Structure 1
Amino acid sequence: MGNESGERVEHAGDVESTKPSAADVPFPRAVRSFVTRAGRVTTGQARALTDLGPRYLLAFDPNTPDLVATCAASASAQGKQYEKTVLEIGFGMGAATAHIAGVQPDTLFIGCEVHEPGVGALLKSMGEQNLDNIRILQHDAVEVLASMIAPASLDGIHIFFPDPWHKKRHNKRRLIQPAFVRELASRLKPGGYIHCATDWQPYAEQMLVVLGEESLLANSAETYAQKPDYRPLTKFELRGLKLGHGVWDLVFHRV
Structure 2
Amino acid sequence: MTEAQQRGFDEGWSQWGIDYRPELLNFDELFGGPGERVLEIGFGMGQSLLDMAAARPSSHYLGVEVHRPGVGRLLHGVQELGLSNVRAMCHDAVDVLENCIAPGSLQRIQIFFPDPWHKKRHNKRRLIQPEFTELLASRLSPGGILHLATDWEPYAEHMLEVLNNCTALENSGENGGFVPRPEERPLTKFELRGQRLGHGVWDLLYRRGSAA
User: Normalised by the shorter chain, which TM-score bucket?
Assistant: over 0.9
Aligned match of 2:115:
163
Matched, 1:189 2:106: no
Matched, 1:224 2:184: no
User: Identity of counterpart residues, as a percentage?
Assistant: 52
Aligned match of 1:154:
106
Q: Where does 1:49-198 land on structure 2 (aligned, <5 Å)?
A: 49-62=9-22, 64=23, 66-67=24-25, 70-76=26-32, 81-198=33-150
Aligned match of 2:157:
205
TM-score by length of 2: 0.95
Amino acid at match of 1:252: Y
Counterpart CA distance in 2 for 1:96 and 1:82 is 23
Q: Where does 1:18-37 land on structure 2 (aligned, <5 Å)?
A: none
**Bigger RCO (CA 8 Å, 6+ sep):** 1
State the Cα deviation string for residues 181-236 of structure 1 (Å, max 9, x = none): 00000000000010000000011011111111100000111211111111111122
Counterpart CA distance in 2 for 1:184 and 1:118 is 23
Counterpart CA distance in 2 for 1:48 and 1:213 is 41
Q: Secondary structure at the match of 1:232?
A: coil
Counterpart CA distance in 1 for 2:149 and 2:74 is 20
Equivalenced residue count is 207
Higher radius of gyration, 1 or 2: 1
Q: Secondary structure at the match of 1:218?
A: strand
Amino acid at match of 2:129: Q
Structure 1 unaligned regions, length at least 5: 1-40
Amino acid at match of 1:240: G
Q: Secondary structure at the match of 2:94?
A: helix
Counterpart CA distance in 1 for 2:191 and 2:76 is 22
Q: Which has the higher helix share?
A: 2
Q: Secondary structure at the match of 1:185?
A: helix
TM-score by length of 1: 0.79
The root-mean-square deviation of aligned C-alpha atoms, in Å, is 1.0
Amino acid at match of 1:105: P
